Amino acid sequence: MPHFRHRFEPPEASPPEITGGWVELTVEEVEQAGVEEIVQTPGAGLGSWSLLTDLVDDSSGLFSFREPLGRAREVKTALSGLFGRFVARAYAKRYLGFAFFAHIDADEMSLTPTGGVVRKFGTGDRPDWAVWNDAGDMAIIEAKGCHDGAGPQAALNRAWDQVQRGWIFSGVDPAPFKRYAIATRWGFSTPGHPQTPMLWVKDPDVEGVEKRQENLDELAIGIARLHCANLMRGLGYGELAMALRDLTLRTTKAWQADHEAAAIQALDAVRGANLGGGEDAVGPDMIGGVVTPGGPTGDRGWTPDLVLALQRLKIRAYFVGLDAKVIEAVIVGDIGQLRELARAMHRADPTQFLRLSTEEGLA
C-alpha cells in the first residue's frame, strides 16, 4: 500500500502541536480523485489522472514516482501542481470525510440566495475548493504539489497564504468553517532525487459568527449543488447542470421554488434513460457516463460494444456518475436525505466509480 510521510498541524494550540507518522493512499484512490477533478474542471478534456499507474513505482511501499516528472522546471512544476490536487482531494475524501467539492471559480461565488464564498485580502490566486461532509462540516481547501528536495514547507506556506483569502459567508457575516492547506512533496525511485514522499497538512480553525442550523444547511446544500452541477456539465448533461447551478444564485425564495421545479424536470428528462452500467454493475438509477484518458466518451453506460472496444485498445476507463436520489436531494434541499445517501455511498462519497480493467473486465 503506497504511503506518504505525514505531518498534520491541528488547530492552534498552546504550545503548538504537530503530529506525524505515515498515511496511505492507493493509486486508485488518487486516480478516482483525479477523474472527478478533470471532469469537474471546465475545458479539461484529457485525463491526466491516467498517467499515475504508469508513473508510480509499484514495487515500493511508498507513493514514489519511477523518475522525475519531466526535465524542464516548468513541466515539473505543472505536473506537481496537478498531481498535488489529485492527492489532496483523495486525502480530503478519505481522512477528512469531505464528499462534496465546489470549485472556487470567482471572487464572489454564490451558494444560496443569501450566502456564498468570497475572496478577501489580496489579489492573488483563489483557493481550490469549498467542501462539505455529511457530518455538517464546511471548509475551504488549497492544495499544492512540489518536488523540492528540502521538503514541502515552502509549498505549504504558499497554500496557507492562498487559503486565507477565501471566506464562507451567510448574510453579511462569516459562517463557522475550517481551512486546510495541503502540500505534497514527491518521492522518486531514481537515485539522486528525494526518496520519501511527504504529505503535510495545516488545519486552522476560523472564528465565524454562530448561525442558525438552517443557514448552515443551506450553505452545505449550495456546495453539494455546485459539486453535482460541475460533474453533470463535464459528463454532458448541460441542461441539468445549468438548472442545478441556477439554484445557487442570489435570488428570491419564490424564484427558487420555480427553478426547483425546472431542475426536477431536467432530472426527469435524463432519469431512466441511462444504461448506468446495468443493474448488476452500477445501478439502474445512475446518472453519469464513461470517462477514458481522452475525456468523457459521451456513452451513458457500459455497452458490450464499448467494453470490447476499450479492451481491444487496452484503454482503462471509469463509469462516473451520481445516484439520481442524490441529485434530487440537492435540488429540493433535503439535507437529512443527502446525509443519509452520502453515508451509504462508497466511503461517504456521492460519486460512484466503476473501473474497466483491460484484462479482467468490469471491476
Who's near 160: CB < 8 A, 6+ residues apart?
Answer: 142, 181, 202
244 and 146 housed in the same domain: no
**Coil, strand or helix: which one is 238?**
helix
77 and 151 housed in the same domain: yes
38 and 77 housed in the same domain: yes
Asked, for residue 227, whether it belongs to a domain, the answer is no
208 and 253 housed in the same domain: no
**Coil, strand or helix: which one is 169?**
strand
Q: Residue 174's pLDDT is what?
A: 83
Q: Residue 215's pLDDT is what?
A: 82
pLDDT tens string, the chain, 363 residues long: the values are 588 889 888 776 545 555 678 889 988 888 888 888 988 986 555 555 555 666 676 666 777 766 566 555 655 666 777 889 999 999 999 998 898 999 998 899 999 888 899 888 767 789 999 999 888 889 999 999 988 888 899 999 999 999 999 999 888 788 888 999 999 998 877 776 767 888 999 987 666 556 667 788 999 999 999 999 999 999 989 999 999 999 988 677 777 778 889 999 999 988 866 544 444 455 567 888 888 877 888 888 777 888 888 888 888 788 888 889 999 999 999 999 998 887 766 444 555 555 554 444 444
30 and 160 housed in the same domain: yes
Q: Residue 299's pLDDT is what?
A: 84
Range of the domain at 351: 235-362
Give the pTM: 0.86
d(CA 228, CA 105): 15
The answer to whether 145 touches 195, Cβ cutoff 8 Å, is: no
Who's near 166: CB < 8 A, 6+ residues apart?
Answer: 104, 117, 118, 119, 120, 126, 127, 130, 140, 142, 179
97 and 167 housed in the same domain: yes
Q: Residue 48's pLDDT is what?
A: 57
265 and 336 housed in the same domain: yes
67 and 186 housed in the same domain: yes
Asked, for residue 273, whether it belongs to a domain, the answer is yes
Asked, for residue 230, whether it belongs to a domain, the answer is no
d(CA 194, CA 26): 20
Q: Residue 314's pLDDT is what?
A: 80
26 and 59 housed in the same domain: yes
Asked, for residue 124, whether it belongs to a domain, the answer is yes
Domain finish residue from 157, 181, 213: 213
Amino acid letter, 288: G
d(CA 99, CA 351): 8
d(CA 36, CA 321): 10
136 and 24 housed in the same domain: yes
d(CA 149, CA 252): 53
Q: How many domains does the chain have?
A: 2
Asked, for residue 218, whether it belongs to a domain, the answer is no
43 and 112 housed in the same domain: yes
